[in-house]
Structure 1
């Protein structure tokens, strides 16, 4: 924060991350002039707050952005936007709140020594939350924050300080760790699939940005999935690499958890829906070992873990139908993983949402062997998914419907199941356009199914515990 003093500084974005950055800067630099770039609707709210040193603008073009030394950017705003790239060429430095937090938590050697960062295309929220749960079960005060729902700048300096930090990072934030110049003690990478192509611009850039946490971030210890082809091919000369998923480390044999050749426990009854989530327990235990703790002693505490909302969340049953909320699913791979959880049951799958260019060909090919009873498409990319699946529906024997919206999709799903089965919302696409975010989509799904949306939305354990 101190390095912002005397510089021309702007904020770009007024979501929760933007507001957290503003409060943190104001707390440390109360007299620093700031400019905020935000939407027209947000501008009125900000001006009403009456900060005389905060100028509000609604046009973040290349000229205006280029007038600043530093722009503190919200994660959802891509640095690959033309106006951002033009301003960067003029010398403007774009950073996020994650970079500011890491810069404030470096020791003398430039290491955030009690920090575990978790990233991956799928499963990172559950993995980060499970890590915090097990550490706390072992008596260690642990902060749970980051992309999971609590911006790091909202917990910049908690008192008393936690013993460990469990931090989720999206691909929007991994570069911030590299930009901070601070090395996390442990970085966990679960998997890499195509996602967020609209933000990154291409699959290649998405992969490169995701892996910046491991390469440029130079963690002391990198915990990697031995079964992921991209991660297993990495060479990280500045990090000690520890693998999970392979037979030498923490791994599953069917539903049994092993550490090398030593059986530890059965995982089938754990509150971790899906084999992929139980597999991520192996990542958590490997990270705990990397911290120098007894992972085997903490593993049984996974039995008391509380699953996160919007992630293969069983809401309950109504009229013979079980409703499952997997609104966090924003890739076709995630939808396939969700289907695998309910293999052998009568399922109506609701897919589709914002179209950001991800291919659905692999999903369609999988329907030849693992199609549910019904697939209902919806949203902006619904027609494209429907057209891809149409030739397969009769051949593979599943019902294919096209819905105008979520309510229509749920009606069609109910009709197809005829009072017996699972209505599975696993869209494989973001919610933008129809909903503010995946949480709002999940809440609407719960409401339409007859459940209280407030009771299913809270993420347990955020902050220091």
Structure 2
């Protein structure tokens, strides 16, 4: 669907976050004075009317009857596609689209034959891999766009041109992408069950990227991902000895040592694998990955993603607020192996299984574990039942967690925020949680407000 297809139709926008605002702006650009309706929260009504005085603003979540009054709804990513009201209205003929889907409709129509498109998804690693691809391509002098779920809606770049489009897609968006040249799946774990409704549906939605990608790059170290994508006719792998992989402290291509892992600013094996994915993707679309590789030394870790904040008051602080699954927390601990680490875990309870985390820390316990948030009691109970042999405490909030971490961590040790859970029990989002942790650690939170390289450069 193209934006022009919405002219003369009854159209509603659902959601007034950045995606919703980008959609309203694009509709005004292409559809002029057409009447639109916006559904948003009561707290957003005044801001919405100030943003677009002509739009009809409705506070609250629409039901099926209300949605049925429209021909098309442009939905923001955070609104589940499986809401009963939305499904009921679709059964009666409502069409549902999104900013991502509209951008792909416009991009495919305009047919930029010389522009490459790489879309990246994965439970973890998708933001860093996307940013790495853009960073390395720009090091080669390629005019590159970095957008999507990473923090810049595609519709904000609707009329822009680039030689390479690097698009991060969440599991909410993979079904909205149109046909594209190259897809990357970095990892596949359990997440976002509240949006998708079940693990099976989450996996199916995540893998919809494979259906629209002419070539597909996947992580060879993930057996479930390999099995689920083996039928793809043009599948490539990273993380195996025949291609881009990590061995003996180096990022390698085959037997050739290309870049020392120790020179990566982003720590951990998983970030070295993200670099492998980025290099493999560039090589697959015809760029000189070997020439780009030295630029890995200049890549800055993304905010809230295993971000080293530095040393303060005798402790080293690491902000991994983006961690919203127990397996992501394990990856963070692995990246700090051999150091005295106190990890802060817990937050909004989505019912995820913490058994793999508990089993792993029972075998290799960190210095201490501080459990917090709405699922902190459940995590603590599982750890104590497994008789995990380390200092352990449960608190209610992040400030108390930081205070306990200081009391339990030796000097020159590491205090790691890697919650393994969303932030919604106490914060607006993971970024707000990361800023608060940064402040509590004694650093300037203003230094981690954004991601370098968004847009076109």
Separation in 1, partners of 2:423, 2:359: 24
Deviation for aligned residue 1:66: 1.7
Deviation for aligned residue 1:396: 3.8
Deviation for aligned residue 1:119: 0.4
Match of 2:348 among 329, 354, 371: 354
Q: Secondary structure at the match of 2:88?
A: helix
Q: Which residue of 1 aligns with 2:337?
A: 343
Return closer, same or farther for 1:420/1:296 CA change in 2, 3 Å cut-off: closer
CA-to-partner distance for each residue in 1:64-110, whole Å, 9 max, x for gaps? 11221111101000011111111111111211110001001015779
Deviation for aligned residue 1:419: 3.4
Return closer, same or farther for 1:330/1:50 CA change in 2, 3 Å cut-off: closer
Instruction: Check the 8 A contact 1:35/1:57 in 2, yes or no.
Output: no
CA-to-partner distance for each residue in 1:266-316, whole Å, 9 max, x for gaps? 222211211111011111111101111111111111111111110111111
Q: Secondary structure at the match of 1:115?
A: strand
Q: Which residue of 1 aligns with 2:21?
A: 19
Q: 1:247-396 counterparts in 2 under 5 A?
A: 247-392=241-386, 395-396=387-388
Match of 1:398 among 348, 373, 390: 390
Deviation for aligned residue 1:11: 0.5
CA-to-partner distance for each residue in 1:7-29, whole Å, 9 max, x for gaps? 11101010111111111111111
Return closer, same or farther for 1:238/1:390 CA change in 2, 3 Å cut-off: closer
Q: Secondary structure at the match of 2:176?
A: helix
Q: Secondary structure at the match of 1:299?
A: helix
Instruction: Check the 8 A contact 1:111/1:183 in 2, yes or no.
Output: no
Q: Which residue of 2 aligns with 1:206?
A: 202
| Structure 2: gaps of 5 or more residues | none
Q: 1:213-232 counterparts in 2 under 5 A?
A: 213-215=209-211, 217=212, 219-232=213-226
Match of 2:440 among 432, 448, 451: 448
Q: Which residue of 1 aligns with 2:193?
A: 197
Q: Which residue of 2 aligns with 1:411?
A: 403
Instruction: Please say if 1:153 is aligned against 2:177.
Output: no
Q: Secondary structure at the match of 1:427?
A: coil
CA-to-partner distance for each residue in 1:161-211, whole Å, 9 max, x for gaps? 11101111100110111xxxx311110011100000000000000000000
Separation in 2, partners of 1:398, 1:40: 46
Instruction: Check the 8 A contact 1:144/1:167 in 2, yes or no.
Output: yes
* Displaced runs of 4 or more, over 6 A: 108-112
CA-to-partner distance for each residue in 1:309-351, whole Å, 9 max, x for gaps? 1011111112211111000000001000000111111111000
Q: Which residue of 1 aligns with 2:88?
A: 86
Q: Secondary structure at the match of 2:180?
A: strand
Separation in 2, partners of 1:187, 1:403: 42
Separation in 1, partners of 2:446, 2:95: 40
TM-score (norm: length of structure 1): 0.94
Instruction: Check the 8 A contact 1:256/1:265 in 2, yes or no.
Output: yes
Return closer, same or farther for 1:396/1:143 CA change in 2, 3 Å cut-off: same
Q: Which residue of 1 aligns with 2:66?
A: 64
Separation in 2, partners of 1:274, 1:408: 28
Separation in 2, partners of 1:51, 1:156: 22
Return closer, same or farther for 1:41/1:235 CA change in 2, 3 Å cut-off: closer
Q: 1:45-60 counterparts in 2 under 5 A?
A: 45-49=47-51, 51-60=53-62
Instruction: Check the 8 A contact 2:191/2:199 in 1, yes or no.
Output: yes
CA-to-partner distance for each residue in 1:207-262, whole Å, 9 max, x for gaps? 000001112x2x12111111212221135766521111112111111322221222
Return closer, same or farther for 1:425/1:53 CA change in 2, 3 Å cut-off: closer
Instruction: Check the 8 A contact 1:112/1:184 in 2, yes or no.
Output: no
Separation in 2, partners of 1:306, 1:237: 36
Return closer, same or farther for 1:111/1:382 CA change in 2, 3 Å cut-off: farther
Q: Which residue of 2 aligns with 1:172?
A: 172
TM-score (norm: length of structure 2): 0.96
Instruction: Please report the RMSD computed on the Cα atoms of aligned residues, expressed in angstroms.
Output: 1.7
Q: Which residue of 2 aligns with 1:5?
A: 7
**Which has the higher mean CA deviation after the structures are superposed, 110-119 or 62-71?**
110-119
Q: Secondary structure at the match of 2:301?
A: coil
Instruction: Check the 8 A contact 1:110/1:183 in 2, yes or no.
Output: no
Separation in 2, partners of 1:423, 1:116: 36
Q: Which residue of 1 aligns with 2:431?
A: 439
Q: Which residue of 1 aligns with 2:456?
A: 464
